[in-house]
């Protein structure tokens, strides 16, 4: 069979366009209504997507007065979605900086059992400066320390998920043996950041471990991904940079002794789709007219770790000197590189930059017909830029529905996308092996 495209639905707000929550075509349901999330998951499952994904930050966004930037906690939300779906993978974000490995291993271990082996963990180190103040700190833990801690965290949770052999549970009523004690081992981890005795207090899940997803793109982030990630989300604004990222990460994974095809690279794609290109562009303009530059300015400041952009006029062309050097940014470093690169290339004014970022925060945005979107997907997929896409519909559910009804059939006709689920677990959908234990 031909190599197949993988599709993940990134669910956020009423769509990824900053103004989606106000647009008449987005869902009327409250963003705290679980039915909103269940319904989207079922629509994505009808479209045979590999997975859905929920992001998370650990502080209220300071844009909340004029932007719908609240959501439900991802792990509990996916627990509720699991019961309303049967095949689609469920990926939740959780932080290595602001949680304990034992708690996280239990949460994701439980979700893997609850969902029948469909769970994935988006491993984040938490870039948002305000999060620190909710966890007893004053300022953001530095970029280097976050990744160092993340590395040890991942070692610990892997050991916990592997602490039970797959055949440890006997559950034999007749003989009175529930489990084989010799097949359950403590982990006795003593490191710089964590001391965890183990073993985990539950048997291994159907997938052995959840699928490891990662989305850091700085040098440190890429090395971390190369060691651990099985799927990688990334924000790329053009095919060329996506190709460079793809080649680099696959090479780094190979250098770690891993099979490059076991690290799936999924750039973000946020398409406005309509039956003519003119109509699609018209809808994109409609959305942009609903944005508020002051919301954008605050979001930009958050990306740069709280840097003050309030003095910048909206209509003067920007220069890279208007921004802090990305190498010194302790927040989401790679995204700041994307933004400064864009300013250097396009010489945007602040208003234009904010309008651009309103589309999908620095991910690839486009407007076109279903054929044009399918062509773009096929081109990136065949030309070393992607193994699939992290679909970020600008409006939910309307732009997901058009994608499922119009783009998915084109990809299927071209032999690039499944016409039925072949397996049951997220590892099956992604074509990933089930990790073995050392027992």
Ligand X SMILES: Cc1cc2nc3c(=O)[nH]c(=O)nc-3n(C[C@H](O)[C@H](O)[C@H](O)COP(=O)(O)O)c2cc1C
Residues that bind ligand X (CB under 6 A): 55-57, 93, 124-127, 143, 215-218, 220-221, 233-235, 268, 332-335, 390
ω before 199 within 30° of 0 (cis)? yes
54 vs 165, beta carbon nearer ligand X: 54
Query: If we measure between CA atoms, which residue out of 55, 120, 127 comes closest to residue 88?
Result: 120
71 vs 193, beta carbon nearer ligand X: 71
Q: Rounded to a whole number, what is the distance in angstroms from the first to the last CA of the chain?
A: 35
From the CB of 439, what's the least distance to ligand X, in Å? 32
72 vs 179, beta carbon nearer ligand X: 72
Q: Are 91 and 61 in contact (CB under 8 A)?
A: no
From the CB of 204, what's the least distance to ligand X, in Å? 26
127 vs 381, beta carbon nearer ligand X: 127
Task: Give the Cα separation of 219 and 337 in Å (integer).
Answer: 12
25 vs 62, beta carbon nearer ligand X: 62
User: H helices of 324-386, where?
Assistant: 333-346, 350-360, 370-382
From the CB of 393, what's the least distance to ligand X, in Å? 14
85 vs 390, beta carbon nearer ligand X: 390
Query: If we measure between CA atoms, which residue out of 280, 292, 260 comes closest to residue 63?
Result: 292
From the CB of 391, what's the least distance to ligand X, in Å? 11
From the CB of 265, what's the least distance to ligand X, in Å? 11
Number of Cβ within 10 Å of residue 142's Cβ equals: 10
Look-up: residue for tokens 């794609």? 269
16 vs 297, beta carbon nearer ligand X: 16
142 vs 188, beta carbon nearer ligand X: 142
Task: Give the Cα separation of 278 and 6 in Å (integer).
Answer: 29
Phi–psi pair at 75, nearest 5 degrees: -70, -45
Query: Residue 303 is inside which H or E element, if any?
Result: helix 293-303
Instruction: Kindly state the tokens that stand for 49.
Output: 């997507």
Phi–psi pair at 291, nearest 5 degrees: -80, 160
Look-up: residue for tokens 């981890």? 189
Instruction: Kindly state the tokens that stand for 343.
Output: 């300013």
From the CB of 73, what's the least distance to ligand X, in Å? 12
Q: Are 246 and 225 in contact (CB under 8 A)?
A: no
From the CB of 233, what's the least distance to ligand X, in Å? 4
Task: Give the Cα separation of 122 and 154 in Å (integer).
Answer: 12
From the CB of 55, what's the least distance to ligand X, in Å? 3
Q: Which residue is nearest to ligand X (CB)?
A: 221
Task: Give the Cα separation of 260 and 257 in Å (integer).
Answer: 9
Long-range Cβ contacts of 30-33 (<8 Å, 24+ apart): 31/68, 31/70, 31/71, 31/72, 32/70, 32/72
Residues, the chain: 439
85 vs 217, beta carbon nearer ligand X: 217
48 vs 332, beta carbon nearer ligand X: 332
Task: Determine the longest span between alpha carbons in the chain, in angstroms.
Answer: 79
From the CB of 41, what's the least distance to ligand X, in Å? 17
From the CB of 145, what's the least distance to ligand X, in Å? 12
């Amino acid at each position: 069979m031909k190599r197949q495209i993988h599709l993940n639905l990134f669910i956020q707000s009423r769509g990824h366009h900053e103004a989606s929550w106000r647009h008449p075509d987005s869902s009327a349901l409250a963003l705290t209504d679980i039915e909103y999330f269940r319904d989207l998951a079922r629509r994505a499952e009808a479209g045979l997507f590999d997975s859905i994904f929920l992001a998370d930050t650990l502080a209220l966004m300071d844009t909340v007065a004029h932007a719908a930037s609240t959501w439900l906690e991802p792990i509990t939300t996916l627990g509720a979605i699991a019961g309303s779906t049967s095949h689609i993978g469920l990926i939740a974000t959780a932080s290595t900086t602001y949680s304990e490995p034992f708690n996280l291993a239990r949460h994701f271990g439980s979700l893997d059992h609850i969902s029948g082996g469909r769970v994935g963990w988006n491993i984040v180190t938490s870039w948002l400066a305000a999060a620190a103040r909710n966890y007893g700190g004053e300022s953001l833990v530095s970029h280097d320390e976050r990744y160092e801690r993340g590395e040890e965290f991942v070692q610990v949770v892997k050991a916990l998920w592997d602490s039970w052999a797959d055949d440890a549970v006997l559950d034999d009523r007749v003989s009175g043996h529930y489990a084989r004690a010799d097949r359950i081992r403590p982990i006795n981890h003593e490191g710089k950041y964590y001391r965890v005795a183990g073993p985990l207090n539950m048997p291994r899940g159907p997938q052995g471990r959840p699928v490891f997803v990662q989305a850091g793109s700085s040098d440190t982030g890429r090395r971390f991904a190369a060691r651990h990630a099985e799927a990688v989300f990334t924000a790329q604004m053009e095919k060329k940079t996506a190709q460079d990222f793809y080649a680099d990460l696959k090479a780094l994974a190979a250098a770690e002794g891993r099979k490059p095809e076991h690290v799936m690279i999924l750039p973000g794609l946020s398409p406005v789709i309509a039956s003519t290109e003119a109509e699609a562009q018209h809808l994109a303009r409609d959305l942009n007219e609903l944005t508020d530059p002051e919301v954008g300015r605050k979001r930009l400041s958050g990306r740069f770790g709280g840097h003050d952009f309030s003095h910048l006029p909206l209509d003067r062309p920007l220069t890279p000197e208007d921004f802090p050097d990305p190498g010194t940014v302790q927040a989401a470093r790679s995204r700041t590189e994307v933004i400064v690169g864009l300013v250097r290339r396009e010489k945007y004014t602040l208003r234009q930059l904010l309008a651009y970022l309103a589309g999908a925060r620095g991910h690839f945005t486009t407007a076109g017909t279903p054929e044009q979107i399918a062509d773009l997907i096929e081109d990136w997929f065949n030309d070393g830029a992607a193994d699939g896409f992290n679909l970020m519909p600008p409006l939910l559910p309307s732009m997901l529905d058009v994608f499922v009804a119009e783009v998915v059939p084109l990809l299927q006709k071209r032999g690039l996308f499944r016409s039925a689920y072949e397996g049951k677990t997220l590892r099956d959908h992604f074509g990933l092996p089930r990790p073995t234990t050392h027992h």
